[in-house]
Amino acid sequence: MRHLSTVLRGACACLLGTTLLAHAQTTNSDAVVDPVAARQQAREIAQGDPARWYREDATRQAQLRTLHKEIGAALQEAKNACKKVTAAERNACLQEARTSYQRDMAEAKSQVDGLAQTR
C-alpha cells in the first residue's frame, strides 16, 4: 500500500508540475498557493509530518477519494498560477487547467485499479 500512495502522490505532482511549468511566471512554486493556505502549511510543517501521511488508504474507495482530493488541489494551484499570467494568456491557461482536471478525474478510477493490479 505504501507504494500505491507514493505512486499516487507522484502522479498528482507530475500533473501539477506540468501545468505550473507551462504557465507559472515564477521559480517559487509556493507562489501559486493561497496565502492563507501557505500560512497553515507553514504551521503544519513546523510541527513535523502529520501522522495521516503514513496511514495507507485501506480500501479502493479511500484511494480513489484521496486521488480525487489531490486532483482537486492540483486544479486549485493551477488556477492560482493562471492568475499570475498575462490577461491574454489567462483564458488559455484556465482552459488547460480545466481540461487536465477533467482528464485526470476521468482516468482516476482506472489509475487506482491499475495500481492495485501491480501489487
Expressed as residue numbers, the domain containing 109 is: 2-118
What total of structural domains would you count in the chain? 1
Q: Which class for 105: exposed (0-12), middle (13-18), buried (19 or more C-beta within 10 A)?
A: middle
Q: Which class for 67: exposed (0-12), middle (13-18), buried (19 or more C-beta within 10 A)?
A: buried
Q: What is the pLDDT of residue 21?
A: 46
Q: What is the pLDDT of residue 22?
A: 47
pTM higher than the cut 0.85: no
pLDDT truncated to tens, each residue of the chain (119 aa)?
555 555 455 554 445 455 444 444 444 456 677 788 889 888 888 888 877 778 888 899 999 999 999 999 999 999 999 999 999 999 999 999 999 999 999 999 998 888 666 66
Alpha helices in the chain (DSSP H): 2-23, 35-46, 60-82, 87-118
Yes or no: say if 78 and 100 are a contact pair by the CB < 8 Å rule. yes
